[in-house]
Amino acid sequence: MHYFLFVNIIFHTLPGYLHTKINSENITQPTHDAIVLCGKNSKFKIYYGLGFSYLVSFFKKHNYSYKIYSCNSCDDFDKIMNNQSVISVWIFGHGDHGCIAFGESLYEYSQLQGKSIKKDYIYQFHCNPGSYDSLASIVSDGRGYVNNDFNTPNSNYWNIHEILKSFDYDNNELKNG
């Protein structure tokens, strides 16, 4: 089992993370999607390289406007959520259905209830156990992706792959979203 994890990290996850460092943004429009890598530890961010490198490759191929944000604190995350140029948010990190973690600090999504922050889509690719309101239910009328389970780089990769099958390349949005 440890051998498989080591091989996965060396051949898939680390190169994916490095790929996203090189291709950190492609802003082609006034608005863009935010790919948010949450956490204080770079090693933890590397763990999610498989899923978000596939997403970046897809966006680059279709000249879709995006930017990768390395998010190390609740304040960093709040700035992204308040950025009016950000229309959709893809979140990778550690959390549950109602929050994202930054070390010992938690950014609780419920703090955005009642505020005027709206996004087209929210994709929570961190663990999502629990029954709290998801960020998608608070700021995007439930549009996007949130499961009720634990996520891994492999499950994120396949879930992103399925989501992007429904992507409208001409209009840069999900079909039937």
Neighbours of 95 (CB within 10 A): 26
Partnered with residue 86 across adjacent β-strands are 32
| Residue ranges covered by each domain of the chain | 2-174
Rg (CA), the chain: 15
Q: Check if the beta carbon of residue 151 is closer than 8 Å to that of residue 128.
A: yes
pLDDT in tens, 113-172: 999 999 999 999 988 888 899 999 999 999 999 998 888 777 888 899 899 988 765 555
pLDDT in tens, 141-151: 999 999 988 88
**Is the pTM here over 0.85, yes or no?**
no
3.30.1460, 3.40.50, 3.10.20, 3.40.1350: which CATH number matches 2-174?
A: 3.40.50
* Pairwise CA distance, residues 159 & 142, whole Å: 17
* Pairwise CA distance, residues 51 & 58, whole Å: 11
> Which residue in the block uniquely carries the two structure tokens 């990190």?
93
